[in-house]
Structure 1
């Protein structure tokens, strides 16, 4: 029988187990799957644990499967459960997919990134980074709205020049924003000079 989530904690445990058992090998032109994004986010958490545990405590890298759950209408309550016991969290990095949040047969073909700052002056705000113009704009808007965040005008984002590197851009954007957060209290948000290095990602996934 198909697994049915009993709650956000069960869903997270199921997601982590699924990603751990998935293949992390990445071909030259292969689209990234949930397992690749989840694995690199885990790498980044480990790196921050050693270099900047304070920032890690303030940051949540959301698993792609959990991100789909957060897109649902009750996303705000799911977010509260996701952050339970982590009162210091300021930043969320959420991969956005154009897959259906309700129909498992409608699988997505494009990734983008929603960067959420939970401590805005008037409440949470979200910034959407899309490497194909505004392809996922509506999905990012749904997610931001579900999380109770105001979707801000999009920062500038480097555009991909092929049909398969969107997930690489998401992970590169996440890492660049984290790097800036480590260096600046109020980092610049435009990523028009972003370098999306597939080989560097492949090397990390092979560790």
Structure 2
């Protein structure tokens, strides 16, 4: 049996390609991979919150990993097509992997630039775990979002906490969606009231259902 028959493509959506093995990670208890996180970010930006595409950017894990570890003189041209200086809100998934040209790592958190506040906000479901990495990344990307360095702040924000060792990526997905609703749609229910271990566990099946719905709508 051919390898593609054992692990068929479930979804081919813009830049996201998901195989059955990727989707199966959502059944749990498993860490989700970069492909699943990238799909959710791409779906939020291009479909769910497309009404705010002029002010919203959700970067995929590969882009963030490059920015985090590349030489400064390589970053500008790489990010130029994203037009980040025009965006009001820039979302960056942060991981603790320090290997060049390889995404992954052991822990995910979320860094968000809010232009009108001139601040980066870091949401970490394991308090303090990625703090220094996120802070370094914020100052690394600062020139390319054109944040005012002298007034720019990097804040550790109170974030929903995971209670297991594998849901960090799902927390990033859930927190990112909630913040998009707050920032782009005026959603007023507090983050910590809706995002919690129980809702994040349910989010796994919701993302799985979304993948199959998008596959049916857009084809594979």
TM-score (norm 1): 0.75
Aligned to 1:6: none
What is the distance in 2 between the residues matched to 1:64 and 1:39? 10
Cα deviations by residue, 1:34-67 (Å, 9 ceiling, x for unpaired) = 1001111122121222xx2xx1211111010111
- Per the alignment, residue 47 of structure 1 pairs with 48
Partner of 1:92: helix, strand, or coil? strand
Q: Which one of the candidate residues 107, 122, 126 is aligned to 2:120?
A: 126
Q: Which has the larger radius of gyration?
A: 2
- The alignment of Structure 1 onto Structure 2 pairs a total of residues equal to 181
Name the structure with the higher helix share: 2
Structure 1 ranges of 4+ moved more than 6 A: 187-190
More strand by share: 2
2:210 counterpart residue number: 204
From the superposition, tell whether residues 189 and 93 of structure 1 become closer, same or farther in structure 2 (CA, over 3 Å).
farther
2:42–2:60 contact (8 Å) kept in structure 1? no
Q: Compared with structure 1, are the counterparts of its residues 116 and 101 closer, same or farther at alpha carbon in structure 2 (3 Å cutoff)?
A: farther
- Cα deviations by residue, 1:71-127 (Å, 9 ceiling, x for unpaired): 1364586256424473531111100001114374x951111000112454xxx4210
Structure 2 stretches of 5 or more lacking a match? 1-13, 214-220
- 1:66 is aligned, of 57, 63, 66, to 63
What are the Cα deviations for residues 103-156 of structure 1, in whole angstroms up to 9, with x where unaligned?
A: 74x951111000112454xxx421000001111111101111101254433221
Corresponding residue for residue 82 of structure 1: 79
1:56 aligns with 53
Provide the C-alpha distance between the structure 1 equivalents of 2:27 and 2:176, rounded to a whole number of angstroms: 21
Deviation (angstroms), 1:175: 0.5
Counterpart contact for 1:100–1:107, Cα < 8 Å: no
Could you say which residue in structure 2 is the equivalent of 1:137? 131
SS across alignment from 2:180: helix
Q: Which 5+ residue runs of structure 1 have no aligned equivalent?
A: 1-15
What residue number does 2:11 align with? Answer: none
